C-alpha cells in the first residue's frame, strides 16, 4: 500500500513539474469547451436572402418587409435580373433567392393567386431544409395576412388547435444540448491520451526497464498510472460542469452526486482503454495514432453531433461498444432531464462491464517479463 | 554450490531468426567481479535481461543465489540491482528524488544503506537538487549505480556501464566497483572495452551469442600460444594484405594505429617480416615483439572457431 503512495507521489511530481503539460491538461480543454460550445451549432441564423422583385408594387414590398423584419433573414441585396441572382448564389454571396414574378399584385387582385419562387443553396442539406422551412413559414404567414385583408369576414381558425411544447429544452437552445456532450468529449481526450502516453513514454525512454526489475507489483504500477489522471479528469469534469452551469446557464436538473458517480466509472473505461493501447505499442507515435483512430470513430458515432437513431442499423450495433455514446446519453439525461439512476441502468451497467473488461485486458497485457 | 552466486546452464535465446544466445554455461562465485567481454551484438544485454528476469530464456536455466529466474522472479527482484546500458532513471526528477523513489519502492531509505553508496553518491550529492536529465554522463552513471545499490542487492548487474563515459570517469568507476566487491557484493559487468577485462576477477569472452572462453584475465593472456609482433611502415594501408603472404601466417589484424602479426611457425624469426616488407617496397619498417592482451586473445579465439564469426565478415 505504501508503495502505491510512493508511485503516486512520483507521478504527480512529474506531471506538475512539466509546466507546458499542465497548461495542456488544464487550460486547453476549458478553452475548447468555451469555443466549441458557441460554434458547434446547427442553428441557422443570419441567412442571406437576395431579392428579385419584378413587380415593385405594394404587395411585393409588403412581402419583402416580412422577410427583412424576420430576425432570421438578412436581405443581402436586390437584383434586377435572374442571372445576377444566380451568380450571387454561385459565389456564395447569398444563400437564398426570393423571386417575385411580374404582375404579382395584379394577379393577386384579379385571380386571387400570385407567384413567388424561392431558390435555396442546398449544398448543406440539413441547413437548406431549415432555411426553406423558415421561408415557407413567412410565406404562410403572409398568405394569412392577405386573406384577412381581402376576406375580412372569413373565419381563419383551424379545426384542430395545435400547441407544441418543447420539453427539457424549451427554448430549443443548442448550447444546452451541446455542452453536456462536449464536456464528455474533453474528459475522454484527457483520459484516453494521457494515461496511454504516459506508459509509452516510459517505454520509449527506457525507464520502464528500471521499474520492471524492482519488486513493484503489476497492479501497483497500473494504479499508479491510472489514479493521477483519474483525479485530474474528475477535477476537470467538475470544473467544466461549473462553467457549463454558470457561464452557459445549462440547467443541472439531476443529482450532482449521481453525475460524478457515473463519470468516475466512465473514466475508468477511457483510462484503461488508453492504457491498453499503450501495452500494445512501443512508441508514443503509434499509441497516438491508435488512440486517435478509435477516438474519432467513437466521437463521430457518439451522438454528439448527429442523433444515433438516424444512423444505419449496423452503425447502431457498432455503437454498442462505444463508451462515449453511453456516457453522452447519461450525461444529457442527468443534466437536462433530471433523470435518476433507474432511467439509465442499461447504459450505466454497460459502462461498468466495459470498465472491468478494459482494465482486465490492460492488466493482462502489461507484462514485466518479455 | 552454495558459494556460487549465479549459475547458467545451457541457456539459449532466439529473437525470431537471430540466435542471440547459444548454450551459455557459466558459474559465477559469490563476491566475484565477473566481466562479460564482447563487441556489440555479442548477446551481453540479452544475457543480462534474462538474469534480471526481464526476459525468459528459450531453453536452459539461470539461477541467482539459488533462485530460478523464471519461477522465482519475484524473489530475485528483491536481491538484484540492475543498471541498464541506457540511462533509465527519471530525467525530470532530481537526483535526490530518483534515489528516494528507488529506495522507497524497495521499502528502504537512503539513510539505511547510505554506507553502501556514500563513496559514489558523495560525488553527486552537491547536485542533488538538479534534475537527472541535466547531469553529465559520468554523473548520470554514478546516480544510476547509486540507485541500483540503494536496496543493498546481493548481485549487481551492470550492462555496459562505461560506454560513453570519459577515460577518467571510467577508471574512477572501476575503482568503485572494486570497493563494492570488497563489501561482498557479486558484480556482473558487461563491456565492449577489452582493456577493462584486466580489471575483472574473471571474464567470459563473448561473440555472436557464444562464450568462447572463461578464465582469469592473466590465465587467458598466459595461454596465448604464439608471439605477437607489432608492425608499422610507411604504407600502413597495404600492410594488412601484404603481411598475409608470409608463409605460415596465423593472423594479421589492426591494433590501434599499428598492425599485430602472428605466425604459428615455432622457429619464426621477426627479421622475416622486415625482409618481406622491404622486398616489396615498404620503408620506415618497425617490428617489435609485443605483450599479448585480452584483445589479442579475443581475435585469436574468433579466428579459431568459425562459428563465432559473423558470416561474410572474415578478418
What mean pLDDT value characterizes chain B?
88
Q: Residue B159's pLDDT is what?
A: 94
Note whether A135 and A96 are within 8 A (CB).
yes
Q: Are residues A245 and A351 in the same domain?
A: yes
Q: Residue A359's pLDDT is what?
A: 92
Note whether B301 and B205 are within 8 A (CB).
yes
Residues shown for chain A: 370
Q: A116, A150, A184 — which closes off a domain? A: A150
- Identify the weakest region by mean pLDDT among A129-133, B79-83, B102-106: A129-133
Q: Are residues A72 and A182 in the same domain?
A: no
Range of the domain at A251: 2-40+172-365
pLDDT band at A8 (very low <50, low <70, confident <90, very high): very high
DSSP percent split of chain B into helix, strand, coil, nearest 5: 35, 30, 35
| Inter-axis angle of helices A256-280 and A218-246, nearest 10 | 130
Contact across the interface for B49 and A370, Cβ inside 8 Å: yes
Q: Residue A370's pLDDT is what?
A: 52
Chain A: closest CA distance from residue B75 (Å): 8
- Identify the weakest region by mean pLDDT among A147-151, A318-322, B103-107: A147-151
Q: Spell out which residues of chain B touch residue A212, defining contact as CB-CB under 8 Å.
A: 54
pLDDT band at B2 (very low <50, low <70, confident <90, very high): low
In this prediction, what percent of chain A has a pLDDT beyond 70?
A: 97
pLDDT at residue A175 greater than cutoff 90 = no
A216 interface with B at CB cutoff 8 Å: yes
Contact across the interface for A206 and B86, Cβ inside 8 Å: yes
The answer to whether position A284 is within a domain reads yes
What mean pLDDT value characterizes chain A?
87
pLDDT at residue B134 greater than cutoff 50 = yes
**Residues 178-207 in A contacting B (C-alpha not used; CB under 8 Å):** 205-207
Q: Are residues A254 and A334 in the same domain?
A: yes
Q: A150, A184, A207 — which closes off a domain? A: A150
Half-sphere exposure of B273 (CA within 13 A, CB side): 27
pLDDT band at B314 (very low <50, low <70, confident <90, very high): very low
Q: Residue B312's pLDDT is what?
A: 40
The answer to whether position A164 is within a domain reads no
Q: A118, A150, A182 — which closes off a domain? A: A150
Instruction: Extract the C-alpha cell encoding B61.
Output: 536455466
Instruction: Extract the C-alpha cell encoding B200.
Output: 575483472
The answer to whether position A115 is within a domain reads yes
Chain A: closest CA distance from residue B196 (Å): 25
The answer to whether position A158 is within a domain reads no
pLDDT band at B47 (very low <50, low <70, confident <90, very high): very high
What is the H or E stretch that residue A313 is in? Answer: helix A313-318
pLDDT at residue A23 greater than cutoff 90 = no
B104 interface with A at CB cutoff 8 Å: yes
Q: State the ipTM, two decimals.
A: 0.80
Query: Quick one: average pLDDT of A263-288?
Result: 92
What is the H or E stretch that residue A336 is in? Answer: none
Note whether B147 and B116 are within 8 A (CB).
no
Give the count of domains, chain A: 2
User: Domain with A89 in it: what CATH number?
Assistant: 3.40.1710.10
Place of cell 443570419: A46
Q: Are residues A68 and A27 in the same domain?
A: no
H-assigned helices in B61-166: 73-79, 95-105, 114-124, 137-149
At B268, give phi and psi (nearest 5°).
Answer: -65, 130
Contact across the interface for A13 and B102, Cβ inside 8 Å: no
Collapsing DSSP to helix, strand or coil, A113 comes out as coil
Contact across the interface for A205 and B55, Cβ inside 8 Å: no
Q: What is the pLDDT of residues B160-214, one digit of tens each?
A: 998 888 888 888 899 999 999 998 899 999 999 988 999 999 999 999 999 999 9
Q: Residue B305's pLDDT is what?
A: 67
The answer to whether position A334 is within a domain reads yes
Contact across the interface for B89 and A18, Cβ inside 8 Å: no
Q: Residue B307's pLDDT is what?
A: 47
Residue of B75, B88, B96, B156 best to disrupt the A interface, most CBs of A under 10 A: B88
Q: Which of A306, A275, A307 is nearest to A290 (CA)?
A: A275
Q: Are residues A219 and A315 in the same domain?
A: yes
Q: Residue B160's pLDDT is what?
A: 92
pLDDT at residue A158 greater than cutoff 70 = no
Search chain B and give the residue with CA nearest A205: B88
Q: Residue B315's pLDDT is what?
A: 38
Dihedral over Cα of A220, A222, A228, A233: its sign: negative
Q: Residue B311's pLDDT is what?
A: 45
The answer to whether position A370 is within a domain reads no
pLDDT at residue B310 greater than cutoff 50 = no
Q: Are residues A247 and A293 in the same domain?
A: yes
The answer to whether position A159 is within a domain reads no
DSSP state of A334: I
A210 interface with B at CB cutoff 8 Å: yes
pLDDT at residue A266 greater than cutoff 80 = yes
Residue of A20, A198, A207 best to disrupt the B interface, most CBs of B under 10 A: A207
Query: Quick one: average pLDDT of B106-115?
Result: 91
Q: Are residues A191 and A208 in the same domain?
A: yes
Q: Residue A114's pLDDT is what?
A: 84
Note whether A284 and A200 are within 8 A (CB).
yes
pLDDT band at A260 (very low <50, low <70, confident <90, very high): very high
pLDDT at residue B299 greater than cutoff 60 = yes
How many CB atoms within 10 Å of residue B58? 13
Q: Are residues A131 and A255 in the same domain?
A: no
Phi-psi region at B248: left, alpha or beta (left = phi > 0; alpha = psi -120 to 50)? left
Q: Are residues A80 and A219 in the same domain?
A: no
Q: Are residues A320 and A267 in the same domain?
A: yes
The answer to whether position A346 is within a domain reads yes
In this prediction, what percent of chain B has a pLDDT beyond 90?
A: 50
In this prediction, what percent of chain A has a pLDDT beyond 90?
A: 33
Residue A168: exposure state from Cβ atoms within 10 A (0-12, 13-18, ≥19): middle
A209 interface with B at CB cutoff 8 Å: yes
Q: Are residues A186 and A324 in the same domain?
A: yes
Q: Are residues A211 and A319 in the same domain?
A: yes
Name the residue with higher pLDDT: B159 or A39. Answer: B159
Chain A: closest CA distance from residue B285 (Å): 50
Amino acid at each position: 500500500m505504501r508503495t502505491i503512495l510512493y508511485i503516486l507521489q512520483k507521478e504527480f511530481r512529474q506531471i506538475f513539474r512539466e509546466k507546458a503539460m499542465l497548461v495542456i491538461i488544464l487550460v486547453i480543454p476549458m478553452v475548447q469547451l468555451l469555443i466549441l460550445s458557441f460554434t458547434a451549432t446547427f442553428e441557422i441564423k443570419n441567412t442571406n436572402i437576395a431579392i428579385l422583385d419584378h413587380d415593385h408594387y405594394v404587395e411585393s414590398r409588403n412581402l419583402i418587409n416580412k422577410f427583412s423584419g424576420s430576425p432570421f433573414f438578412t436581405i443581402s441585396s436586390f437584383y434586377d435580373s435572374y442571372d445576377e441572382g444566380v451568380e450571387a448564389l454561385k459565389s456564395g454571396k447569398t444563400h437564398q433567392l426570393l423571386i417575385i414574378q411580374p404582375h404579382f399584385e395584379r394577379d393577386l387582385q384579379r385571380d386571387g393567386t400570385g407567384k413567388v419562387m424561392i431558390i435555396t443553396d442546398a449544398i448543406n442539406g440539413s441547413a437548406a431544409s431549415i432555411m426553406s422551412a423558415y421561408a415557407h413559414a413567412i410565406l404562410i404567414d403572409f398568405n394569412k395576412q392577405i386573406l384577412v385583408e381581402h376576406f375580412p369576414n372569413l373565419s381563419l381558425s383551424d379545426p384542430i388547435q395545435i400547441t407544441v411544447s418543447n420539453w427539457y429544452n424549451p427554448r430549443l437552445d443548442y448550447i444546452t444540448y451541446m455542452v453536456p456532450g462536449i464536456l464528455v468529449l474533453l474528459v475522454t481526450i484527457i483520459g484516453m491520451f494521457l494515461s496511454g502516453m504516459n506508459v509509452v513514454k516510459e517505454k520509449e525512454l527506457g525507464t520502464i526497464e528500471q521499474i520492471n526489475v524492482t519488486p513493484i507489483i503489476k497492479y501497483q504500477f497500473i494504479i499508479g498510472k491510472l489514479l493521477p489522471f483519474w483525479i485530474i479528469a474528475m477535477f476537470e469534469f467538475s470544473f467544466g460542469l461549473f462553467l457549463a452551469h454558470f457561464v452557459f446557464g445549462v440547467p443541472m436538473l439531476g443529482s450532482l452526486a449521481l453525475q460524478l458517480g457515473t463519470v468516475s466509472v466512465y473514466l475508468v473505461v477511457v483510462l484503461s482503454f488508453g492504457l491498453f493501447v499503450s501495452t500494445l505499442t512501443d512508441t508514443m507515435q503509434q499509441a497516438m495514432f491508435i488512440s486517435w483512430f478509435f477516438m474519432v470513430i467513437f466521437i463521430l458515432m457518439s451522438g454528439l453531433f448527429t442523433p444515433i437513431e438516424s444512423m444505419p442499423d449496423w452503425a447502431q450495433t457498432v455503437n454498442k461498444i462505444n463508451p462515449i455514446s453511453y456516457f453522452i446519453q447519461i450525461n444529457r439525461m442527468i443534466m437536462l432531464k433530471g433523470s435518476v439512476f433507474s432511467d439509465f441502468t442499461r447504459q450505466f451497467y454497460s459502462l461498468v462491464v466495459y470498465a472491468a473488461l478494459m482494465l482486465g485486458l490492460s492488466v493482462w497485457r502489461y507484462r514485466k517479463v518479455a | 554450490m552454495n558459494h556460487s552466486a549465479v549459475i547458467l546452464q545451457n541457456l539459449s535465446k532466439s529473437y525470431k531468426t537471430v540466435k542471440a544466445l547459444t548454450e551459455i554455461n557459466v558459474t559465477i562465485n559469490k563476491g566475484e567481479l565477473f566481466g562479460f567481454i564482447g563487441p556489440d551484438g555479442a548477446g551481453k544485454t540479452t544475457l543480462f535481461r534474462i538474469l534480471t528476469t526481464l526476459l525468459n530464456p528459450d531453453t536452459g536455466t539461470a539461477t541467482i543465489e539459488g533462485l530460478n529466474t523464471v519461477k522465482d522472479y519475484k524473489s530475485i527482484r528483491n536481491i538484484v540491482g540492475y543498471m541498464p546500458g541506457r540511462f533509465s532513471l527519471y530525467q525530470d526528477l532530481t537526483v535526490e528524488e530518483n534515489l528516494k523513489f528507488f529506495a522507497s519502492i524497495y521499502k528502504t531509505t537512503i539513510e539505511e544503506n547510505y554506507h553502501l553508496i556514500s563513496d559514489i553518491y558523495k560525488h553527486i550529492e552537491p547536485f542533488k537538487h538538479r534534475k537527472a536529465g541535466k547531469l553529465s554522463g559520468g554523473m548520470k552513471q554514478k546516480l544510476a549505480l547509486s540507485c541500483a545499490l540503494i536496496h543493498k542487492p546481493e548481485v549487481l548487474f551492470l550492462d555496459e556501464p562505461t560506454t560513453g563515459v570519459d577515460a577518467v570517469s571510467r577508471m574512477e568507476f572501476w575503482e568503485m566497483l572494486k570497493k563494492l566487491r570488497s563489501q561482498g557484493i557479486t558484480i556482473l559487468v558487461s563491456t565492449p572495452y577489452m582493456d577493462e577485462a584486466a580489471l575483472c576477477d574473471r571474464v567470459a569472452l563473448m561473440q555472436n551469442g557464444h562464450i568462447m572462453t572463461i578464465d582469469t584475465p592473466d590465465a587467458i593472456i598466459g595461454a596465448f600460444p604464439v608471439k605477437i609482433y607489432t608492425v608499422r611502415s610507411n604504407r600502413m594501408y597495404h600492410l594488412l594484405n601484404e603481411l598475409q603472404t608470409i608463409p605460415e601466417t596465423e593472423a594479421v589484424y589492426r591494433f590501434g594505429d599499428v598492425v599485430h602479426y602472428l605466425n604459428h611457425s615455432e622457429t619464426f624469426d621477426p627479421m622475416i617480416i622486415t625482409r618481406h616488407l622491404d622486398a616489396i617496397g615498404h620503408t620506415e619498417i618497425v617490428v617489435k615483439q609485443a605483450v599479448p592482451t585480452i584483445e589479442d586473445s579475443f581475435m585469436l579465439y574468433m579466428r579459431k572457431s568459425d562459428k563465432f564469426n559473423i558470416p561474410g565478415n572474415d578478418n
